Every structure is written in C-alpha cells, then in structure tokens.
Amino acid sequence: MKKFITLTSVLFAVLAMPAHAQFAKPEDAVKYRKASFTVMGAHFGRLGAMAGGKAPYDAKQAAENADVIAAVAKLPWAAFGEGTDKGDTRAKPEIWTESAKFKDAVDKNQAELAKVVAAAKTGNLDALKAAMGPAGASCKACHDSFRKD
C-alpha cells in the first residue's frame, strides 16, 4: 500500500525533472507511459469482466491480475517530465499547467487501485465488485480532465 501513498512525492519530483534523467528522449517517456497504461488497462479490464459478470470469477486469476496492477500502476507517473507534452500523446497541457489538480487525480486513482488490489486478493467477488466502481471512476475522472478524446 505504502508505495501508492508515497507516489505523490515521486510525481512532484519527476514533473520538475528533465525527461532525460530517466529516459533518453522525451518520446521514450511518452511511449513508456502509454505502454504502462496499456498493460494496466488490460489487467484492470480483466478484473472488470469478472466483477461485471462477463467472465467467470476466478480468485487465483483475480489475484494475479492484481499483482500486475500493483507493479504497473505506479509506473506511468514518472514519465510526465519536461518535454513530454508533445509528440504522439493525448496528454492535455493541463497536466503541467494544473499540476496540483493532476497530482490529486493521480493520488485518488492510486488509492482506489490499492483498494482493488487488496480486494482482488481477498478471494471475495463482492469485495472486488465494491472496489472496482470507484477505481474505474477515478480512471475516468483523470481521463476526462487530462486526456484528449
């Protein structure tokens, strides 16, 4: 859990950091964060299918999807550094011009995903269902504000 909570300090440090500190080129950061979101979304989607009754509930698979989400969900935020607002990206300028609001949205998302990870590991479908709604809403809220259609 702790790693989700302390992400904020990492994020703030990273937004003020040139992208080349972690990535050779800004476009590498863009590619990396999109890849992280793709992997996260795929595994979140599999939990969503179970929670929504579109796939059979399998506690072991749910826990495995949760493990991937736990590992990947913290990754993309380190890749919004300087110079990564351009290129093949749907990132809105507000990520950088309203960085406190972006930080809040990311924090909320990380907290909700941490609940999903915990719920998926209980082996209880109702716990998973309860956690998925708010988490999905927190994904959508950030997309609505900070991602172009």
- 112 is written with which tokens? 């909700």
> Rounded to the nearest whole angstrom, what is the least distance from the CB of residue 73 to a second copy in the complex?
11
Nearest residue to 91 (alpha-carbon basis) of 100, 102, 28, 128: 102
> Rounded to the nearest whole angstrom, what is the least distance from the CB of residue 97 to a second copy in the complex?
27
With beta carbons less than 8 A apart as the criterion, state whether 81 and 33 touch: no
Among 8, 12, 17, 35, binds a second copy (CB under 8 A): 35
- 122 is written with which tokens? 């209980």
Cα separation of 9 and 1, whole Å? 15
Contact flag: residue 118 with a second copy (CB under 8 A): no
Contact flag: residue 36 with a second copy (CB under 8 A): yes
Residues in contact with a second copy by CB under 8 A are 22-23, 28, 31-32, 34-36, 38-39, 42, 46, 67-68, 70-72, 75
